[in-house]
Chains A and B, each alone.
Chain A
Amino acid sequence: MSRIVVLDYGSGNLRSAERALQRVGADVEVTSDHRAAMEADGLVVPGVGAYAACMEGLNAVRGGRIIGRRLAGGRPVLGICVGMQILFDRGIEHGQLTEGCGEWPGTVERLQADVVPHMGWNTVRAPEGTRLFAGLDADIRFYFVHSYGVQKWELEPSDRIRPPLVTWAEHGGEFVAAVENGPLSATQFHPEKSGDAGATLLRNWLDTL
Chain B
Amino acid sequence: MSVAVRVIPCLDVDRGRVVKGVNFTNLVDAGDPVELARAYDAEGADELTFLDVTASSSDRETTFDVVRRTAEQVFIPLTVGGGVRSTDDVNRLLRAGADKVGVNTAAIARPELLGECSQRFGAQCIVLSVDARRVPAGGRPTPSGFEVTTHGGRTGTGIDAVEWAARGQELGVGEILLNSMDADGTRTGFDLDLITRVRAVVDVPLIASGGAGATEHFPPAVAAGADAVLAASVFHFGQLRIGEVKDELRAAGVEIR
Binding site for B on A (CB under 8 A): 12-13, 15-16, 19-20, 23, 48-50, 53, 114-123, 139, 141, 143-147, 170-171, 190, 192-196, 198-199
Contact = CB atoms under 8 A, between A and B. Distances in A.
User: At the interface, is chain A mostly helix, strand, loop or mixed?
Assistant: mixed
Given A50-B122, A115-B203, A198-B75, A193 B99 contact: yes
A143 B2 CA distance: 12
A154 to B, nearest CB: 25
Contacts of A115: 203-206, 227
A125 to B, nearest CB: 9
B124 A145 contact: yes
Interface in B118-136: 119, 121-125
B1 A120 contact: no
B222 to A, nearest CB: 12
Interface of B: 1-6, 41, 46-47, 68, 71-73, 75-77, 94-97, 99, 119, 121-125, 174-175, 203-206, 227-228, 257
B172 to A, nearest CB: 10
18 contacts: A12-B125, A16-B75, A19-B72, A19-B73, A20-B75, A23-B75, A48-B122, A119-B227, A120-B5, A121-B46, A122-B4, A141-B257, A144-B3, A145-B124, A147-B174, A193-B77, A195-B75, A199-B75
Contacts, number: 105
A185 B49 CA distance: 31
A12 B121 contact: yes
A167 to B, nearest CB: 14
Nearest to A48: B122
B42 to A, nearest CB: 10
Given A16-B71, A117-B123, A117-B124, A122 B76 contact: no
B2 to A, nearest CB: 7
Contact of B46 (A19, A120, A123, A190): A120
Contacts of A195: 41, 75-76
A116 B75 contact: no
Given A12-B95, A199-B75, A119 B1 contact: no
Contacts of B75: 16, 19-20, 23, 192-196, 198-199
B99 A16 contact: yes
B3 A122 contact: yes
Contacts of A117: 123-124, 174-175, 204-205
A196 B38 CA distance: 13
A118 B6 CA distance: 12
Given A15-B71, A193-B77, A119 B3 contact: yes
A15, A116, A146, A190, most chain B CB atoms within 10 A:
A15
B2 A170 contact: yes
A20, A115, A122, A139, most chain B CB atoms within 10 A:
A115
Contacts of A170: 1-2
